[in-house]
Amino acid sequence: MRAESAPLLLIEDDPMIGSNLVRALGDEGITVVWCKDAQSGENALQINTPSLILLDLGLPDRSGMEVLALVRRAHAHIPLMIITARDDVDDRVAGLEAGADDYVIKPFGMKELMARIRAVLRRVDSPDQHVIGNGEITLDLLAHKASYRNKTLLLPSKEFALLQLLTNAPGSIFSREQIEQRLYEWDKGVTTNAIDVTIYALRKKFDNDIIRNVRGIGWMVLKSPLS
């Protein structure tokens, strides 16, 4: 299981549930980073990429649905499972449609949870599903590495997230407002020139052609390789 080579991130405020999960997952050989609120969970994501996220919805400082939205904007490739006592059908549908890979109702048995974790990891464990590209740009979604014109680099999260957004839709032009909404809405401290700074950093690392500016409209990556 890939969880053995990378820590699992648990965002759960209940001390009894959290400690039981850490102990049980540890017995399965899985290292767990346990965060008891949304902010510490978000901070942990900036430090390491977990193999999988177990997310409670009833967090003390912020809704778990807000955390889910953040993860899907900035770390779309990370498998995420909701663990919650909210068993209403509408809640389940909302969680899955917002991007959760599974929705597990408390209380749950550890054998069932482990089976669900393995199933989620199997679904994302094909190398082909971890790589996207436009013919020249190649992104490894697990390693956070970008390749362009024979250069491969490990990128910081914001640079990778911006390049991933554009590469997911090659040939499509994204306005400043669209990029800010998709990538920076959750970051209250973001500066007005954050996009320009990020694009400048990517061009400096690779080449000016990696991201094209369409004057007065926005930015894009090409749909097909340069001739």
What CATH number corresponds to the domain at position 84? 3.40.50.2300
How far is residue 66's CA from residue 223's CA, in Å, rounded to a whole number?
A: 32
Within this chain, do residues 104 and 153 fall inside the same structural domain, yes or no?
no
Show which of 125, 158, 193 is a domain's final residue.
125
Q: Which CATH number covers residue 165?
A: 1.10.10.10
Closest residue by Cα to residue 76 from 169, 171, 166, 165? 165
pLDDT over 60 at 4, yes or no: no
pLDDT tens profile 145-200: 899 998 999 888 788 889 988 998 899 999 998 888 777 654 545 566 889 999 99
pLDDT computed for residue 128 by the predictor: 56
Within this chain, do residues 104 and 117 fall inside the same structural domain, yes or no?
yes
Within this chain, do residues 144 and 185 fall inside the same structural domain, yes or no?
yes
Within this chain, do residues 13 and 119 fall inside the same structural domain, yes or no?
yes
Within this chain, do residues 102 and 212 fall inside the same structural domain, yes or no?
no
Structure tokens at 156: 């910081």
**pTM (whole model) above 0.95:** no
User: How high does pLDDT run on average in the chain?
Assistant: 86
Structure tokens at 8: 């699992």
Within this chain, do residues 91 and 121 fall inside the same structural domain, yes or no?
yes
Structure tokens at 71: 């993860």
Within this chain, do residues 119 and 133 fall inside the same structural domain, yes or no?
no
Any domain includes 98: yes
Within this chain, do residues 92 and 27 fall inside the same structural domain, yes or no?
yes
Percent of the chain with pLDDT over 70: 89
Greater model confidence, 13 or 89: 13
What is the span of the domain harbouring residue 38?
A: 2-125
Nearest 5 degrees, angle CA 36-CA 37-CA 43? 100
Any domain includes 227: no
Who's near 7: CB < 8 A, 6+ residues apart?
30, 31, 32, 33, 48, 50, 51
SS3 percent helix, strand, coil of the chain, rounded to 5, is 45, 20, 35
Cβ(18)–Cβ(10) below 8 Å: yes
Within this chain, do residues 81 and 182 fall inside the same structural domain, yes or no?
no
Within this chain, do residues 19 and 105 fall inside the same structural domain, yes or no?
yes
Domain count, the chain: 2
Greater model confidence, 125 or 127: 125
Within this chain, do residues 136 and 101 fall inside the same structural domain, yes or no?
no
Q: DSSP secondary structure string, 44-85?
A: HHHH---SEEEE-SB-SSSBHHHHHHHHHHH-TTS-EEEEES
Within this chain, do residues 201 and 104 fall inside the same structural domain, yes or no?
no
Show which of 125, 144, 179 is a domain's final residue.
125
Any domain includes 226: no
pLDDT tens profile 127-144: 555 678 888 899 887 677
Strand, coil or helix: what is 10? strand
Give, rounded to a whole angstrom, the gap between the first and last alpha carbons of the chain. Answer: 42
The pLDDT-based confidence of 1 (bands split at 50, 70, 90) is very low
